[in-house]
C-alpha cells in the first residue's frame, strides 16, 4: 500500500477537528454577545420612556387609529393588540349608555 492516502486522511481529519473546535469557540463568543445584547435590551425595556417618547408614541397611535377608521387591515392590526377602532360610518355603540328601565312596569 502507498503512504499518501493515509497522509491525506490524517490531514483531512486534523482539518475537520480544527474546524469543529473553531466552530465551538465562535459559538461561545456569540453566546456571550447575545447575553450582552439581551441584558442591554432588558435595561431598555425596564427604563421609563421619556415624556417626549410617550408623546410621539401617542401621536403615532392616534394617526394609526385615524387610518384604521377607513383601512380594514390597519383596524385588524390594532385589534390584534387590543385597540378597538370603529369603521368610518358605523355608529359608535361603545359610547351609548343603556336607557333606564321604566318604573311603570314594576308598579303593575
Q: Does position 43 have pLDDT exceeding 60, yes or no?
A: yes
Q: Does position 99 have pLDDT exceeding 60, yes or no?
A: no
Average pLDDT, the chain: 79
pLDDT number for residue 1: 64
Residue 56 CA, chain-centre distance (Å), reads 19
Give the end-to-end CA distance of the chain in Å, rounded to a whole number: 115
Q: How far apart are CA 64 and CA 56, in angstroms?
A: 12
Q: Does position 103 have pLDDT exceeding 70, yes or no?
A: no
What count of residues does the chain have?
A: 108
Q: Does position 78 have pLDDT exceeding 80, yes or no?
A: yes
pLDDT number for residue 40: 86
- Tell the residue number behind the cell numbers 360610518, with chain if given: 89
Task: Give residue-wise pLDDT tens across range 17-42.
Answer: 999 999 999 999 999 999 999 988 88
Amino acid at each position: 500500500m502507498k503512504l499518501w492516502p493515509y497522509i491525506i486522511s490524517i490531514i483531512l481529519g486534523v482539518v475537520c477537528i480544527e474546524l469543529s473546535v473553531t466552530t465551538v469557540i465562535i459559538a461561545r463568543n456569540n453566546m456571550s454577545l447575545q447575553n450582552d445584547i439581551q441584558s442591554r435590551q432588558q435595561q431598555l425595556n425596564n427604563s421609563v420612556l421619556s415624556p417626549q417618547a410617550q408623546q410621539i408614541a401617542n401621536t403615532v397611535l392616534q394617526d394609526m387609529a385615524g387610518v384604521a377608521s377607513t383601512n380594514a387591515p390597519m383596524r385588524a392590526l390594532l385589534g390584534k393588540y387590543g385597540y378597538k377602532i370603529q369603521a368610518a360610518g358605523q355608529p359608535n355603540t361603545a359610547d351609548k349608555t343603556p336607557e333606564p328601565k321604566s318604573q311603570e312596569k314594576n308598579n303593575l
